Amino acid sequence: MSGAADSNDHIGGEFCRAAIAPGLLSSAGQHLTPYERNGLWRIFQAIGRAWDDLHPSATDSSNLKSTWLDFIEAKTNFEPSYIAEYSNAVLCVDELIEIYGESNAFSLLFFRSGLPQQSNPAAPPMTRLAHAKKFVIDEFIRVNVVASGFKSFGREEHQNGVNYNGYLGGSRYNLKARVRDYKPSEAETPK
Amino acid sequence: MKHQEYEYVIVGSGVAGSTIAERLLQHNRATSILILEAGPEVKAKDRRFWWDYVVNASGDNSKAYDFTCDQPGEAKVSGNQTFEVAGSRVMLYGGSTVHWGGWCLRYKPEDFKLHYNTGLGGDWPFDYEDLFPYYEMAEHHLQVCGDVGESWNQEMRPGVPYPRPPYWWTEADGEMIQAWEKNGIEPGKMPVARYRKCMTTGTCKYCPIGARFSSQLILDELRSDERNINLEIVSSTPVTQILVDSKSRITGVEYLDSTTGDARHVYGRTVIVCSGAYESPKLLMLSKSNYWKNGIGNDHDLVGRFLVSHSILKVQGILDHNRENWFQEYDFPTLMSRTYDTPQYQKSNKIFLFKNRALPNIDFAQLMIQGKSRGEIDAIRKASRVQELQSFMEETGEFNNRVMLARGKNRFGLPKMEIRFDRSKDAQKNAENWLTIMSKVVDDMGYRITKRVVDPPGGHHATGTCRMGATEKDGVTDKDMRVHGTDNLYVCSNAAFPSGAAVNPTLTLTAMAYRLADHLIKKA
Ligand SMILES: Cc1cc2nc3c(=O)[nH]c(=O)nc-3n(C[C@H](O)[C@H](O)[C@H](O)COP(=O)(O)OP(=O)(O)OC[C@H]3O[C@@H](n4cnc5c(N)ncnc54)[C@H](O)[C@@H]3O)c2cc1C
């Protein structure tokens, strides 16, 4: 296996490891293709599976697709556009899958990528894979968590919808009451 | 500008300026009003801006308007404390409510008589009762939610309901409430400006749907209302001087043209300075002439003085488990108390208590980004939780605490500023006493105390710098916020407050803006 995860270097082949400047890639004149859109959605779905934070009644992330699409539209239709970053991330993941197989590829990418950013989030992204991690994977993780993933970290067995600080916990995402109220008992009520 | 002369020229487009403009226009749609705003226009409710804010949540420089904030080190500060200016206001279309928390509490009757009651700070030239009807208007304007049943409301708003019902306490508030009650502290529900239906996105500082009140929304509505034929709002246009043609008569203002950068004049029959607690005194100081050698209203060297800030006191503790999986469920506050915000404590720098709005909390996404597995994250979330009790402590106006003009210009073309601020020995001693009381509460919750601090003073709630006073020897402005010695120049800002109370200022400012608008309507 080339580019093993436990080497000092990070995972991936020639494309993933290619050195590029750390700034956002220029997207001038580019469009997202249907193939790339599907590739991005595959990454987003893999996040929900890897952390098992899907809606309890869902087998995949489909119930989050409208939120995710809203995010993709906002990131590709307005400046600075992420189209080139998205295109780059899809090519990186294609290469990882070719080398490691789909399940292994995502597992390595999320948990043992060997990227310096994993230990130091402020590390500048100096390779194509590092770009994919910073501008795509990390942001998709946040979208996953705000759009519903946070609930799985709350009460056991998804008993209650909980609205974590900073997250989109609007009523339409919750199974039950939006908030677990604190109601004082008789003894606690001020006289 | 469409006109050479306007009935009203308003300097600053924050909640003060926008409320006055709205009220004047409600009275007469044809009123000619020019609002000049130094800062740029940043779009509200923009999906891209909002998503960028959400996904960059762990960085602090992620909001679309951050570039309009004071940057660290931009103001020169001196004194026995490091006065925090960075992040304490925003300069843009809509002003600081674009960025505020929306907490809306009335000042208490004793706040209007601070000096009379304690010999410290200043007195307001009128009573709470004078402001009472305007508080009601302000609460409707900002759509404040709250619980009228709390004991302190019996005095402040007998029988007067809030426009919106309160947000209930969350489960994570519960253990603090129990400790409060053990210590004789009455729990209350935080009154907040919930302008439109809140969807609890938890991103109050940039709401994707405009649910939290921001003056931008008012300005947008005023601007799009075709009946307001003589209203003009011009952004990126800093006012650099107030013009006079005699000691008492103000004729207009000088501003910098946004396209050419040239200085130009525009005339107004009444000029209202709504530029916040820093820029309002600066503008008066800048406006020197043969009639006003030290700047308008500054013959007695009071402009910029009596700067008041809130001290924020914090006691944080940790519990060595989080079996209940508690997390603060909204990123806005739900639990507060005014038990120590009473005349009894006025002499010892009274406090307004509240629970840290964002704790307990874990940034799950950040752990995922760091490559932690589900099992590892579950272990972290159950291992411990942190809670924090906070309070604002009232500080009193001291002559030597002040805002001054400094050399050089800031990005908006306005002079830089210098702030001098000492926290008095008594205030420091009182803060320590309050921290002891607060620590007892956190201890009673069963938490191990990890932090016990008084934050440096800051400008978020700065008041006092053009304070009202009965005569020009007591204050810069009179009871109507008119600059003493002038006929037609007003300062509508927290700057005019003679005391800063223990709670946030903006509801009181909005009430004052209504009061001023009614005064102007009567005068016209
Ligand atoms: C982080 C934060 C949280 C806050 N939370 C709360 C809260 O929860 N509750 C509360 O009551 N208060 C809160 N405040 C305070 C609140 O924001 C202010 O009290 C309120 O916005 C002041 O309104 P204003 O109209 O006087 O000033 P601003 O809203 O600051 O508006 C003044 C405007 O004047 C413009 N200006 C200044 N000088 C000039 C000039 N020379 N020419 C042209 N334009 C000029 C500025 O650019 C600015 O836009 C908070 C403040 C901050 C920073």
pLDDT digits (tens, 9 = 90+) for B416-463: 999 999 999 999 999 999 999 999 999 999 999 999 999 999 889 999
Asked if the bond preceding A80 is cis, omega within 30° of 0, the reply is yes
Question: Quick one: DSSP state of residue B495?
Answer: G
Out of A155, A166, A190, the one facing B202 most closely (by C-beta) is A166
B133 within 8 A of B151, measured Cβ to Cβ:
no
Give me ligand 1 centre to Cα B236, in Å.
16
Looking at residue B172, its pLDDT comes to 84
Contact across the interface for B201 and A155, Cβ inside 8 Å: no
- Residue B89 inside a domain? The answer is yes
B34 within 8 A of B232, measured Cβ to Cβ:
yes
- The stretch A174-188 carries a mean pLDDT of 60
B53: nearest CA partner in chain A:
A166
Looking at residue B136, its pLDDT comes to 97
Give me ligand 1 centre to Cα B442, in Å.
33
Residues 6 or more apart from A155 whose CB is under 8 A from it?
A: A162, A180, B325
When pLDDT is cut at 50, 70 and 90, the band that residue B323 belongs to is: confident
Flag whether pLDDT at A157 surpasses 60. Answer: no
3-state SS string for B462-487: CECCCCECCCCCCCCECCCCEECCCC
Residues of chain A with Cβ-Cβ distance to B361 below 8 Å are: 164-165
- Domain coordinates of chain A in residue numbers? 7-188
Question: Quick one: DSSP state of residue B402?
Answer: E
Looking at residue B202, its pLDDT comes to 72
A119: nearest CA partner in chain B:
B370
Instruction: Classify strands B188-189 and B231-234 as parallel, antiparallel or unpaired.
Output: unpaired
> The domain spanning residue B118 has which CATH number?
3.50.50.60
**B286-310 pLDDT, tens digit each:** 999 999 999 999 999 999 999 999 9
DSSP, collapsed to helix, strand or coil, labels residue A80 as coil
Mean pLDDT of chain B, nearest integer: 94
Structure-token pair, residue B327: 């997390």
In what helix (H) or strand (E) does residue B428 lie, and over which residues does it extend?
helix B425-444
Looking at residue A190, its pLDDT comes to 57
Backbone angles phi, psi at B124, to 5 degrees: -80, 145
When pLDDT is cut at 50, 70 and 90, the band that residue B330 belongs to is: low
- Residue B188 inside a domain? The answer is no
**Own/partner long-range contacts of B285-292 (Cβ < 8 Å, ≥24 apart):** B285/B404, B285/B405, B286/B240, B286/B241, B286/B405, B286/B415, B287/B241, B287/B242, B287/B243, B287/B244, B289/B244, B291/B244, B291/B246, B291/B247, B292/B244, B292/B247
**CA–CA gap between residue B266 and residue B260 (Å, rounded):** 16
Looking at residue A177, its pLDDT comes to 47
| More confident call, A16 vs B71 | A16
Residue percentage of chain B with pLDDT more than 70:
98
**CA–CA gap between residue B424 and residue B427 (Å, rounded):** 5
Flag whether pLDDT at B316 surpasses 70. Answer: yes
Looking at residue B130, its pLDDT comes to 97
Q: B201 in contact with A at a CB cutoff of 8 Å? A: yes
Radius of gyration of chain B (CA): 23
- Residue B50 inside a domain? The answer is no
Minimum mean pLDDT range among A164-173, B103-112, B154-163: A164-173
Flag whether pLDDT at A121 surpasses 90. Answer: no
Flag whether pLDDT at A173 surpasses 80. Answer: no
B377 within 8 A of B367, measured Cβ to Cβ:
yes
Instruction: Classify strands B188-189 and B144-145 as parallel, antiparallel or unpaired.
Output: unpaired
Flag whether pLDDT at A5 surpasses 50. Answer: no
Flag whether pLDDT at B63 surpasses 80. Answer: yes
**CA–CA gap between residue A190 and residue B4 (Å, rounded):** 61
Looking at residue B444, its pLDDT comes to 98
Domain extent, residue B472, equals 1-43+82-140+213-309+462-524
Contact across the interface for A164 and B327, Cβ inside 8 Å: yes
- Residue B511 inside a domain? The answer is yes
Distance of CA B508 to the CA centre of its chain: 10
Structure-token pair, residue B493: 């800002």
**A78-118 pLDDT, tens digit each:** 999 999 999 999 999 999 999 999 999 999 999 999 998 88
Nearest by Cα to B57 from B328, B312, B333, B331: B331
Question: Quick one: DSSP state of residue B335?
Answer: E
Looking at residue A153, its pLDDT comes to 76
Backbone angles phi, psi at B172, to 5 degrees: -70, -20
Distance of CA B212 to the CA centre of its chain: 15
Nearest by Cα to B75 from B414, B400, B306: B414
Q: B186 in contact with A at a CB cutoff of 8 Å? A: yes
To the nearest 10°, report the CA torsion of A39, A41, A46, A52: 180
Looking at residue A188, its pLDDT comes to 60
- The stretch B249-265 carries a mean pLDDT of 96
H-type helices in A34-115, by residue range?
A: 34-50, 65-77, 83-100, 102-111
**B355-386 pLDDT, tens digit each:** 998 898 888 899 999 999 999 999 998 899 99
Q: How far is B200 from chain A (nearest CA, A)?
A: 5
Going by alpha carbons, the residue nearest to atom 4 of ligand 1 is B100
- Residue B275 inside a domain? The answer is yes
The pTM for the full model equals: 0.93
Give me ligand 1 centre to Cα B66, in Å.
14
Q: How far is B65 from chain A (nearest CA, A)?
A: 16
Nearest by Cα to B185 from A187, A186, A190: A190
Closest ligand 1 atom to B17 CA: 25
- Residue B252 inside a domain? The answer is yes
**B479-502 pLDDT, tens digit each:** 999 999 999 999 999 999 999 999
ipTM of the shown complex: 0.88
Out of B168, B203, B371, the one facing A181 most closely (by C-beta) is B168
Q: B376 in contact with A at a CB cutoff of 8 Å? A: no
Q: Provide the number of structural domains found in chain B.
A: 1
Between the two ends of chain B, the Cα-to-Cα distance in Å is 23
**CA–CA gap between residue B243 and residue B37 (Å, rounded):** 17
Ligand 1 site, CB within 6 A: B 11-17, 36-39, 88-89, 91-92, 95-97, 99-103, 238-239, 274-276, 279, 283, 414, 460-461, 493-494, 504-507, 509
Residue in this structure with the two tokens 């990890």, named with its chain if needed: B450
Looking at residue A170, its pLDDT comes to 45
Looking at residue A7, its pLDDT comes to 38
Out of A150, A154, A170, the one facing B201 most closely (by C-beta) is A170
Give me ligand 1 centre to Cα B86, in Å.
13
**B171-202 pLDDT, tens digit each:** 788 899 999 999 999 999 999 998 787 776 77
Flag whether pLDDT at B131 surpasses 60. Answer: yes
**CA–CA gap between residue B150 and residue B114 (Å, rounded):** 23
Residue in this structure with the two tokens 């900073």, named with its chain if needed: A166
- The beta strand positions in B194-247, using DSSP E, are 231-234, 239-244
Looking at residue B197, its pLDDT comes to 75
| More confident call, B16 vs B101 | B16
Structure-token pair, residue B130: 């004078």
Flag whether pLDDT at B331 surpasses 80. Answer: no
Structure-token pair, residue B346: 């006025």
Mutate which of B19, B66, B96, B205 to test ligand 1's pocket (most atoms within 8 Å of Cβ)? B96
A144: nearest CA partner in chain B:
B365
Backbone angles phi, psi at B51, to 5 degrees: -65, -40
In what helix (H) or strand (E) does residue B77 lie, and over which residues does it extend?
strand B76-78
Residues of chain A with Cβ-Cβ distance to B152 below 8 Å are: none
